[in-house]
Structure 1
Amino acid sequence: MTQNNLAAAYWSRIRGERADNIEEAIRCYQAALEVYTRSAFPYEWAMTQNNLGNAYQTRIRGERADNIEEAIRCFQAALEVCTRTAFPEDWARTQNNLGEAYRTRIRGERADNIEEAIRRYQAALSVRTPSSFPLPCLQTGRNLGNFAYNLQNWEIAIEGYDNAIRAVEQSRDWATSPDSKRQILEDALPIYGKMIQACLHLERYEQALLTVERSKSRTLMEMLTSADLVPKNATHEQQDQYRQLNREIAALQQSFAAPENPADSQTETPEAGERRGHPDIATATNAAGTPQLKHLLQQRDRLLAQINDPDFNLLQNVRPELPDFRQLLTPETALIEWYLPQDPDLGAWAFTVTLDPDGPHIRAHRYSPQQRQTLDQFNQTYFADYRQPSWYQALDRRLEDLAEHLHLSGLIAALPPTCQRLILIPHLYLHLFPLHALSVELSVELNAPATPLLERFSQGVSYAPSCQILDYIHNRPQAATPPQFFAVQNPTQDLDYAQMEVEFIRPYFDPNTYILSQEAATKSALNRRETLEKLRQSHIIHFSCHGGFDSENPLNSAVILAGDAPLASAPRGDQRQTLTLRDGRRFDTAQQGLTLGEIYRNLDIPACRLVMLSACETGLMGSLLTDEYIGLASGFLYAGTPAVVSSLWCVDDFATACLAIRFYYELRQDERVVMALHRTQNWLRRVSVAGFLDWCRQGLTMTEEECEIIEFKLMDYDEDCPFGQRRYWSAFVAVGL
């Protein structure tokens, strides 16, 4: 035993020459075999043979071909004792190692070695299934997939990668720590990109798109699904308590940054110390907030024990699957979903989905590695001068460039002309861009002018985090309550046009309105039981105020409420509770902000049809490599609304008020949020000064005095088309239905 352990120590030794350490490890293993004979200690003999094979597999000295042959001999010797029947885990481990040895074998026919390597990997996977041994399955599936991928054997590559991806999903189901869940997925992201590529080589477009969905916004999807799970035999009080615990857990699940861990190596080594049965991957880390999360999980476990519902499954799996596009789409609807793989050398893809008479039709458009590099460079420069005048001045030009980088005209031209509604599902940094405002060429005529994307689709353009989340929202039942309009109106009393905005919107819903206006719109007022009950019953929730996105701590992103004056300078100590607006003012969100974290924890709006966030940066989001959709919009989707209208940058107060008022004017004509925003933005970008004033008089029945004030304000804008620039009309996006 000591020789065996000493060998493992030498194998993993850092100091000294690597070649010398491996030689010493081999010597120790061979010394151990003098005592660990097959007849006296068969199992220990077999394990030492396996470890010795690993040592020869990595040996530096000697002929490489001889070392591989010796490794194969050792592994085969181990299998004489470690049979599948007697020691299935060890048998599978050794089969994987034999696969690695045959993969690199020099002697023998190359074709025979390839077939033998594949056979050995497949044998290992017959025991290392995703449900039984997810981490070993991930390792062997990745080994098989990568080997076949490099051989361009796409069928076998898909087999290996599919096993690995299912193992990732099982591992995430067992993990309780949110950063563990994310890290498991992040470490495996290279597999997803190669799986998509392999599927596309075989023209398996549906499987490729499913793989995209399996890697995107998984935490939000799991949170949405678990929010609906309540033990049936619980009392109303217990159900409320269970839901509240779930909301608080959800907030913490979105609060962890993904740690950096090296990817697992391919070859199994003696020091790996593989666990038997279910690996202990569900241990929370020491990240900030973890103790609180563990406490909440324990509270929930105690509550479930008290409820004692044997049929309730807390860990119900969220099975990754494509929605039934025949239910989600219509023949007039098209969907475009982008995917930027972790490896930029794979390029990127855009998938289009349309509905034909025979069912959904999926196509794939590939961006080359060079084109992907151009997109990445665009992202790095897009926000370089954000909040500066130069950023707004360059916005139109930059968006023209982005349309070209995304090949948008070609993507749209390939869609059936009958498609009049478009759903966009971006990926990673593409969530940050107003894709609906990008220019496309609708005519094949030479020098034909390009027009914004939303003009091509008469039924509007909307966004979603993923197909699966969109389908979930589409099918989520909503509470039936009398129509109610809830608004927060200019809490800081420094947005004159935000005040005007709500005054003109309110009559559309009177008398079913509840307004928290100016100094009354405090955090304590919003958290009163009466207010929370009004929110629960409201169909439309409107915020007309300041807002901001916290890129360092997205859960601190907030809409600003009334309270103390803004801070003159950042407070000492923890600064993550402050939010800096574009004019440099800092607000303490703990005192006067409704933060994303609080939305997850406290907000329940089951009757809501629309949340309108008429404020700055309410549509920005933080996205890790795993594309977790973390922003104010995701919080309100989780809280219960199927639709959020939010902004992608710091917006102009007057232009935003005009957009919001016109939006509700259009919403009265057509209750579809996407259509109302579509008509509003098309109108706003085209309307002349005279046309705008005519609408103020006729549509809003303003007095002449009010119209004179508006006319004077319009002098600050273009004299022909005051809101024609994208900075004014395109910041707002409709997320969801």
Structure 2
Amino acid sequence: MIGISSTLVSSVEYLKFLQSILQVIATDSSPQSVYPLLQENLDKLDENLGQILQFWAKETLPQLQPKEAEYFVLVLFKFSKLIQQFPLGNIASNLEIAIAAYEVIATVFTLEKFPQDWAMTQNNLGNAYSERIKGERANNLELAIAAYSNALQIRAKSAFPQDWAATQNNLGIAYLYRIKGERADNLECAIAAYHNALQIRTKSAFPQDWAMTQNNLGIAYLYRIKGERADNLECAIAAYHNALQIRTKSAFPQDWAMTQNNLGIAYFYRIKGERVENLEQAIAVYSHALQITTKSAFPQNWASTQNNLGIAYFYRIKGKRVENLEQAIAVYSHALQITTKSAFPQDWASTQNNLGIAYSERIKGERADNLEQSIAAHKNALQIYTKSAFPQDWAMTQHNLGIAYSERIKGERADNLEQSIAAFRNALQITTKSAFPQDWAMIQNSLGHAYCNRIKGERVENLEQSIAAYHNALQIRTPENFPLDCLQTARNLGNLALENNNWQLAIQGYALAIQAVEQSRNWAIDEERRQEIIANSINVYNKIVQACLNLGEIKKAVEYTERSRAQRLVDMMASNELYQGGNIAPEVEQHLQDYEKIQQRINLMRFGAIPVLAGSSHEKMSLGTGVKQAHQSLTREDLSAYEEEIQALEAQKQQVWQQLRRYDPVLAGQVQVEHLHWEQIQQLIEEPTTALLSFYTTKEDTYIFALFKDRKTQVLTCERQGLGKLQDWILDNWFRPYVRTNSKWKDKMGDFLQELAERLQLEKLVGQYLEGIEELIIVPHLALHQIPFAALPMKADGRGQKAEGKEEDKAGGRGQEAGGKEEDKAEKEERIVIDQTRGLAFNSKSSKSSPTKHVTKITYLGDRFRIRLIPSCQILHYCHQRPPIEGQQMGIVEDATEDLPFTNFECETLAQIYQVPSEQRLQGRKATVKSYQKLAQQVQILHSSHHAKSNPFQPLESQLSLGDGSLTLGQLLTPSWRMPNLSEVFACACEVNFTVTEITDDLLTLATGFLCAGARSVVSTQWSVEDLASALLAIFYYKNRESGMSRSQALQQGQIKLRKLTGEDFTQNYQAQLNSHLLQKLEEVNTAKQQAQAEGDQAASHKWLTIAKKLEGQQQSLQSLGKKDFPFDHPFYWAGFVAHGMD
């Protein structure tokens, strides 16, 4: 029996408890045996017990024999470990008792007599000091480090490798949280200690210990200051994932939950990858942790994870902002159910601080009241977070309080801003650049904002203080390390400078902001997210252009206009350039095959047999597959299932597209797209008689930059023609009328183009800047991509030109109806479509035009200049970089659906001009998707004359209609559709260059798809073009090309010839040939119809009957054309054809 000294009779109850607990431990030291007794005596687990223990030991130990003393302290050692880990009672008191016991043990287990036991005691004493609550935290950590260092005097790697590793791990923890010394150096010491531990704690030998140290290493990398922040966070995530290989939910649920919580923190701060997905990952892993860390089982950890989850919801991008903020407030409130001020003062203060932040941003409720709630919460936190006890937390809460005061509504605005500045200054007393660089930069940014708005003091001095603070912040918030933070501060600096007419400083600020935007975009691996990043920051590009112009830096302004436009298209083109050599990775090849297979299934369903409702007047029509279809009407339920199956395939195809794009070398970050410099842009202008006109619209104005080979760059400002006044006006008066009611759009075309020319100050542009210029390379912006620049009138007498009346009602085009989103359903339904024509017919009921014989004399922009359009200078640059092509072999794809009256006439003429062999001429059903692909890869000139349709709302689904289905833009943009030897494409079909561009200005059309695939030049169409006019213009174009004209000149002269073609000339030179052609085609169609009737193929019979009626209608229309003065004078017939790319 261990004796009890009579000198402690006054503390007999404590002594009896000590006696009983030590006797139990001497018999059985398991927690199951000891913890019930501790729980029964919680009233005695206080600091008195530790003091009595030390006094009693001091009196008793000298009286014991050495062996008895050794036995006593061995039992006491076990007691110390148990009380240190005991979860009940007052944790602070438990740790004080453990420390008192370890100090007693150290008097017996000395370094000299019991080095190994002394080292073990020092290690555990270090643990107790590391976790100690009482006393100064900074001093406790110093004592812990000293104790671990003592232990390592004995616990050498060679002699005691496991113990050495355990103490290294513990030392790492102490350095991780150390307050004294330089924070950056402390974290390096922590990382070094963890790496030391991992030399012994390998996954194979000590899997649990390995996982524990990996988790700790992750924490150290999470907060590391030295090195690249983005890389450190990746190291943290990797370490946590390592830990989770062992810490599984089933084997180690509590450790699994802890590491999941830590992983959530790392994803929350992650810089690489997409911010939106990182936050979703953080929310997901916090939710995982809460599966184990429940309120009842682990209340404190539950509250901590709830707090972290609230932070993630506060910053969440997905979902509605108002709901995310309410969710954040709710989970903070949950956490406060456990983390009360009395029980967990630090956690309570942390959650109060976060709650204050949430209320400062809250959308629901009264703004003024929310800010008062915010201020109150931050002041609550400061009751615990004092400067002396918790300096770092005190500083962060001061910062947050400063933000709340800077936005406060109640009270005097001037006084609130002074309170705000004072709080920020307080925060900077602790948050130094060397110790907490990222937080220091954040506070500097906030301080800059407060001084910018300050009312008291001298305005000039306040602005200087603001600028200095922003510059301080940008020392840390660089585009490379913290792109999102850099964007915030650099934009603030730019805005301040712009508002105060400091153009140079504004450019510096916005330039940094743009670098940050582009860095974020480069790190994003999702195509849609990359677009969002540009779209959300487009105002920065607009403002730097404005600042450059104000400073007279026109060249720099042009460079920045290029950096903002068509970046998605540029990425795709850059990627396809890498694939021109033919090397495609196996995983990419597999996705390409999957994509093509899904498209083939869609084609088979859509084109193999088109079902109709039972009772409908139309039967199923077999379109170009050669398969006979028995007539079978469908119920509405059958049709709904049919449509659902196609939609499911479309969704599956979109998923494969996204997977395919993730392998893209540009999206994966393997290739960085370099932006063009001024010199590279100017090199695109090859002749002194060529001008490049770059249009750029900001919120307020539209700028037209005129670039020349050997002249000074000029800029024309179209004042008050900004996004709303000009771009929205174009959408309302050009795009939407075209989509809804094509005839009204055509009737008003002349009025619209005249007003647009006036808005763009066309006369001034040409008269002042384009003297001696013969060719224009035009870079449109946003809705201007849809404008037929060649048809912009140069004189006022062009206003109000009308269409030529009913004769157009039967004219066929080369396109089909465009698809769209649900909100555009009304627009789609109003489009009048003649089934299986090149495009739209005109609804005579809605047309108010009347026949006219008078044609006004108009000079168009296309009369004065040859015109080429390009989506961006970068796209043209890629075209120029492609090697020259030998040969001029033509391939022809014609009338794939066998229902266009004049396409065969057009293509037969071209085949004779270019001597095209039959194997390079795909006619009718022979024009399958596969044969089209093969032909496009063999020839240098591709003439593609058939149906097409644009889908402006889902541009990747825009398609060329072929004999066995569709070739979509999505397919054209994949590596399998490389056409490296293709010199030019003439897409004589409808809407090949028709779409609506978003704010990012990406012109995703079939025309640009051909450029991406490898073509140097593309002639395409802006709308649904008329069949006969298209055939004649194509013939004129190629005859001009044969005579030696460039592409733009051939198109220009072809358009002029078509426009000036008189009815008399048409009758003399073309009418007889065309009549003969129609008669021959009608004979072929009637033969096919009779054969289908004989075979009982009702679907085919219906198809040929429809085509026959169309041909008969065209025969009648053909006769009327000769009676007109100029049958093709209206811009509708010729201006929709545009040239892209090289000349």
TM-score category (smaller protein): 0.7 to 0.9
Q: Does 1:452 align with 2:864?
A: no
Q: 1:704 to 1:249 in 2, by over 3 A?
A: closer
Q: 1:374 to 1:67 in 2, by over 3 A?
A: closer
Q: Does 1:733 align with 2:1138?
A: yes
Q: 1:468 to 1:300 in 2, by over 3 A?
A: closer
Q: Does 1:369 align with 2:733?
A: no
Q: Deviations over 1:145-168 (max 9, x none)?
A: 112222222222212111111111
Contact between 2:437 and 2:476, CA under 8 Å: does it hold in 1? yes
Aligned mates of 1:454, 1:404 — CA distance in 2: 16
- Aligned-partner SS, 1:67: helix
Alignment of 1:301-340 (within 5 A): 314-322=670-678, 324-329=680-685, 330-340=687-697
- Aligned-partner SS, 1:131: coil
Task: Specify the alignment match of 1:534 in structure 2.
Answer: 935
Q: Deviations over 1:450-497 (max 9, x none)?
A: 50112112xx1110001221122122225x565432221111211120
Task: Specify the alignment match of 2:472 in structure 1.
Answer: 123
Q: 1:200 to 1:658 in 2, by over 3 A?
A: same
Q: 1:370 to 1:510 in 2, by over 3 A?
A: closer
Aligned mates of 1:88, 1:614 — CA distance in 2: 61
Q: 1:600 to 1:704 in 2, by over 3 A?
A: closer
Q: 1:363 to 1:594 in 2, by over 3 A?
A: same
- Aligned-partner SS, 1:369: coil
Task: Specify the alignment match of 1:354 in structure 2.
Answer: 708
- Aligned-partner SS, 2:435: coil
- Aligned-partner SS, 1:451: coil
- Name the larger-Rg structure: 2
Task: Specify the alignment match of 1:171 in structure 2.
Answer: 520
Q: 1:16 to 1:729 in 2, by over 3 A?
A: closer
Aligned mates of 2:479, 2:1074 — CA distance in 1: 69
Shift of 1:325: 4.4
Q: Counterpart amino acid of 1:351?
A: F
Q: 1:290 to 1:174 in 2, by over 3 A?
A: farther
Q: Deviations over 1:116-160 (max 9, x none)?
A: 101111111122111221100111111111122222222222121
Runs of 5+ unmatched residues, structure 1: 253-286, 305-311, 564-591
1:379 to 711, 731, 742: 731
Contact between 2:564 and 2:1000, CA under 8 Å: does it hold in 1? yes
Q: Deviations over 1:15-70 (max 9, x none)?
A: 65443443343333334334333333332222122122222222233332222122
Aligned mates of 2:748, 2:503 — CA distance in 1: 44
Task: Specify the alignment match of 1:510 in structure 2.
Answer: 915
Contact between 2:681 and 2:873, CA under 8 Å: does it hold in 1? no
Task: Specify the alignment match of 2:783 in structure 1.
Answer: 429
Aligned mates of 1:704, 1:39 — CA distance in 2: 99
Q: 1:293 to 1:416 in 2, by over 3 A?
A: closer
Shift of 1:668: 0.7
Q: 1:503 to 1:368 in 2, by over 3 A?
A: same
- Aligned-partner SS, 1:106: coil
Q: Counterpart amino acid of 2:574?
A: T
Task: Specify the alignment match of 1:655 in structure 2.
Answer: 1029
Alignment of 1:257-276 (within 5 A): none
Contact between 2:894 and 2:945, CA under 8 Å: does it hold in 1? yes
Q: 1:401 to 1:81 in 2, by over 3 A?
A: same
Task: Specify the alignment match of 1:148 in structure 2.
Answer: 497
Contact between 2:368 and 2:408, CA under 8 Å: does it hold in 1? yes
Task: Specify the alignment match of 1:461 in structure 2.
Answer: 867
Q: 1:248 to 1:318 in 2, by over 3 A?
A: farther
Q: Counterpart amino acid of 1:561?
A: L
Question: After the TM superposition, which of the residue ranges 711-720 and 74-83 deviates more from structure 2?
Answer: 711-720
Task: Specify the alignment match of 2:756 in structure 1.
Answer: 402
Aligned mates of 1:417, 1:215 — CA distance in 2: 30
Alignment of 1:481-520 (within 5 A): 482-511=887-916, 514-520=920-926
Q: Counterpart amino acid of 1:364?
A: V
Contact between 1:551 and 1:622, CA under 8 Å: does it hold in 2? yes
Q: 1:718 to 1:399 in 2, by over 3 A?
A: farther
Q: 1:644 to 1:26 in 2, by over 3 A?
A: same
Alignment of 1:70-89 (within 5 A): 70-89=419-438
Q: Counterpart amino acid of 2:793?
A: S
Task: Specify the alignment match of 2:79 in structure 1.
Answer: none
Q: 1:546 to 1:704 in 2, by over 3 A?
A: closer
Q: Deviations over 1:306-340 (max 9, x none)?
A: xxxxxx97132333534524521121101111112
Q: Counterpart amino acid of 1:623?
A: T
Aligned mates of 1:726, 1:645 — CA distance in 2: 17
Aligned mates of 1:724, 1:67 — CA distance in 2: 69
Q: 1:350 to 1:702 in 2, by over 3 A?
A: same
Q: Counterpart amino acid of 2:921?
A: I
Q: Counterpart amino acid of 1:552?
A: F
Q: 1:658 to 1:361 in 2, by over 3 A?
A: same
Relative to total residues, which structure has the larger strand share, 1 or 2? Answer: 1
Aligned mates of 2:778, 2:468 — CA distance in 1: 42
Aligned mates of 1:183, 1:191 — CA distance in 2: 14
Contact between 1:643 and 1:734, CA under 8 Å: does it hold in 2? yes
Aligned mates of 2:593, 2:768 — CA distance in 1: 43
Task: Specify the alignment match of 2:1055 in structure 1.
Answer: 681
Q: 1:166 to 1:518 in 2, by over 3 A?
A: same
Aligned mates of 2:972, 2:588 — CA distance in 1: 17
- Aligned-partner SS, 1:351: strand
Contact between 1:11 and 1:21, CA under 8 Å: does it hold in 2? no
Task: Specify the alignment match of 2:973 in structure 1.
Answer: 600
Q: Counterpart amino acid of 1:562?
A: G
Aligned mates of 2:377, 2:767 — CA distance in 1: 68
Contact between 1:199 and 1:208, CA under 8 Å: does it hold in 2? yes
Aligned mates of 1:322, 1:93 — CA distance in 2: 35
Q: Deviations over 1:174-227 (max 9, x none)?
A: 111122111111111122222211111111111111121111101111111122
**Structural RMSD (CA):** 3.3
Aligned mates of 1:621, 1:42 — CA distance in 2: 58
Aligned mates of 2:1011, 2:731 — CA distance in 1: 26
Task: Specify the alignment match of 1:282 in structure 2.
Answer: none
Q: 1:106 to 1:425 in 2, by over 3 A?
A: same
Aligned mates of 1:377, 1:384 — CA distance in 2: 10
Q: Does 1:476 align with 2:882?
A: yes
Aligned mates of 2:986, 2:693 — CA distance in 1: 24
- Aligned-partner SS, 1:366: strand
Task: Specify the alignment match of 1:6 in structure 2.
Answer: 352
Aligned mates of 1:557, 1:201 — CA distance in 2: 41
Q: Counterpart amino acid of 2:934?
A: E
Task: Specify the alignment match of 1:419 in structure 2.
Answer: 773
> Relative contact order (C-alpha < 8 Å, sep 6+): which is higher?
1
Q: Counterpart amino acid of 1:292?
A: V
Aligned mates of 2:585, 2:949 — CA distance in 1: 34
Q: Deviations over 1:255-287 (max 9, x none)?
A: xxxxxxxxxxxxxxxxxxxxxxxxxxxxxxxx9
Shift of 1:670: 2.0
Runs of 5+ unmatched residues, structure 2: 1-346, 599-650, 798-855, 1081-1114
Percentage of matched positions with identical amino acids: 35
Contact between 1:247 and 1:600, CA under 8 Å: does it hold in 2? no
Q: Does 1:32 align with 2:376?
A: no
Alignment of 1:597-636 (within 5 A): 597-601=970-974, 602-636=976-1010
Aligned mates of 1:313, 1:534 — CA distance in 2: 33
The count of residues paired between Structure 1 and Structure 2 equals 641
Q: Counterpart amino acid of 2:694?
A: E
Contact between 1:538 and 1:605, CA under 8 Å: does it hold in 2? no
